[in-house]
Structure 1
Amino acid sequence: MIEAQALSKRYGAKTAVDAVTFTVQPGKVTGFLGPNGAGKSTTMRMIVGLDNPSGGHVTVNGAPYARHRAPLREVGALLDAKAVHTKRSAYNHLRAMAATHGIPNSRVKEVIDLTGLGPVAKKRVGGFSLGMGQRLGIAVALLGDPHTVILDEPVNGLDPEGVQWVRHLARGLASEGRTVFLSSHLMSEMAQTADHLIVIGRGRIIADAPIQSVIDGQGTVRVRVRADRPQDLLGSLAGDGVTSQVLEPELVEVIGVEPRRIAEIALRDKVLIYELTPIQVSLEDAYMQLTQGEVEYHSGDPAAGPIGDVFADPDLAGTQDPAPQAPTTVKGR
């Protein structure tokens, strides 16, 4: 289990992580999502003791990472697959890691087989493809047979077979009662892998719920009402997390309220509705809606010419241009 309490990290005037509190439970796959610069990498680094918090604390399996006598047996992490001596072979790298943590060589052979590194185990890591480097990083994370596994973008560079393998691996580890915490920018893959989601934006938690609840909470409902009553319905529905707008004289679009609740509110306020049509959204749609005001980096308009990308440490970057203004809507305060 991973438990963070008011966890913060500041770099001078820049707050990368702002008093976040969350729990990653064992027995399920918890996805960690957020735009570039949201604080994901910094949070993961604090969990495994690579960065010291500016405030708050975080524990893994009941203790700070640094206090575990055999940390590799408690927590296995893939944060930077490139952090390997490039002139070593995969086998020698794993064997050296095992030797420093009292792990037998038989376990080295097991993780090599598990991650599919057998054909390249004796080759120098410097010649590895991005995908093989990721497999080696995952092998290191699993070397101590840990209770908790943290994987930052584990499918980066993997082919479809490798992506599917990581999905089955994560779910298999969770089924054994382990804590699995992973990040990914592939929403379609996260939708198939994760049971629970924690979404962070600009250093703050903006969602912490089962994955289906996150999707349902951003679902859209189209409501048909009498032509003279749409504004009444908008007023009735105004509340925290609710967005609504009039699309046509008799058609209202509502986000953030379940259809049953809309019907109950309309009945209470005597607003006649003719039709309720739920429109299921994907995880990607839900994520984009949740984070639309939290994006720190914005791509240029392709129609306007070459796009300038921002290359910077995402958790240390300075202020960027503000987000584009959304269409006029009525939002709850």
Structure 2
Amino acid sequence: MIEARALTKVYGDKTAVAGVNFTVEAGRVTGFLGPNGAGKSTTMRMIMGLDRPTSGTVTVNGAPFARHAAPLRDVGALLDAKAVHTSRSAYNHLLAMAATHSIPKTRVHEVIEMTGLADVARKKVGGFSLGMGQRLGIAAALLGDPQTVILDEPVNGLDPEGVVWVRNLVKYLASEGRTVFLSSHLMSEMAVTADHLIVIGRGRIIADAPIQDIINGKGRIRTRVRTDQPDQLMRLLAGDGVSVELQDNELLEVTGLDPRQIARAALDRHVMIYELTPLQASLEEAYMELTKDEVEYHSLITTGAAAPVQSGGN
């Protein structure tokens, strides 16, 4: 379990994390989302004892990270896959880590096999691709068979097989009753991997709930409607906060109205509807709605190019 209480980090006149409170429970995959500059990396670094909080506390399995006598056996983390001595082989890198905690060589071989590194384990890390470096970082995180696993962008650089492997791995770890804390910018992957989400924006927690609750709460209502009177129905449904798009000759997509409101309006005006299908909002839509006022860097699309517009810094 990871617990943060009034956790705050200030750099000069910049508050990176502002008194956040959250709990990452064991037995489920908790996703950690937020725009660039929102405070995700700073929060994860404080969890791992790499940055000291300005105020507040964060504990892992009941104690600050620095107080764990054998941290690799309590907490495994992938924060920076490049933080490896490039002239060492993957095997020697893991062997050196294992020696600091009296972890047997057999476990080194286990995590090498588990992460698909067997064919390159004796090669120098400096020649690894991004994806192989990620696999090595995950192997290091799992080396001590920890109760808590923290992974920052673990599928970065992985091929589709690797992405599926990470997805199944974190779900399996959670099913064993471990605490799994996962950060990623890939909404499609987070949607099929995480059970619970914590969303941070401008250093503050803006959502902390099961993933389906977040999708249901912030995704705009969309409905597929099929009718042989599309023009009449479009005029009927038009209004503030309502979008009606003609998909083909008889198919409309309505955003901003409950399906029951659509059905009632059509019935009152004797418009025949022969399909009324609620569409599931996506995690990406819900996330964009949640964070629309929390993004520090915006872009404007101009003719032929996207021009970055800075609205703040980190």
TM range (shorter): 0.7 to 0.9
Q: How does 1:1-333 map to 2 (within 5 A)?
A: 1-221=1-221, 245=241, 254=256, 274=265, 278-303=278-303, 305=305, 307-308=307-308, 319-320=312-313
Distance 2:309 2:84 in 1: 28
CA contact (8 A) 1:3 1:60 kept: yes
| Structure-1-length-normalised TM-score | 0.79
**CA displacement 1:266-299 (0-9 Å, x = unmatched):** xxxxxx9547974421111111111111111123
User: 1 or 2, which has the higher strand percentage?
Assistant: 2
**CA displacement 1:60-88 (0-9 Å, x = unmatched):** 00111111111110000000000000000
Structure 1 residue 300, shift from structure 2 partner: 4.0
- Partner SS for 1:58: strand
| Structure-2-length-normalised TM-score | 0.83
**CA displacement 1:94-151 (0-9 Å, x = unmatched):** 0000001111111100000000000000000000000000000000000000000000
Structure 2, unaligned runs of 5 or more = 224-234, 245-253, 267-275
CA contact (8 A) 1:87 1:125 kept: yes
Structure 1 residue 254, shift from structure 2 partner: 4.4
Distance 1:165 1:287 in 2: 25
Aligned in 2, Cα 1:98/1:218: closer, same or farther, shift over 3 Å?
same
4+ aligned runs moved over 3 Å, structure 1 = 252-255, 272-279, 304-310
- Partner SS for 2:206: strand
Aligned in 2, Cα 1:306/1:218: closer, same or farther, shift over 3 Å?
closer
Number of matched pairs? 286
Distance 2:74 2:5 in 1: 20
CA contact (8 A) 1:219 1:279 kept: no
**Matched residues, percent identical?**
70
**Structure 2: which amino acid aligns with 1:191?**
A
- Partner SS for 1:299: strand
Distance 2:192 2:145 in 1: 24
Distance 1:78 1:182 in 2: 10
The match for 1:330 is none
**CA displacement 1:169-217 (0-9 Å, x = unmatched):** 0000000000000011111111110000001111111111001101000
Structure 1, unaligned runs of 5 or more = 232-243, 264-271, 311-317, 321-333
**Structure 1: which amino acid aligns with 2:290?**
L
- Partner SS for 2:294: coil
- Partner SS for 1:220: coil
Structure 1 residue 219, shift from structure 2 partner: 3.0
Aligned in 2, Cα 1:166/1:294: closer, same or farther, shift over 3 Å?
same
- Partner SS for 1:20: strand
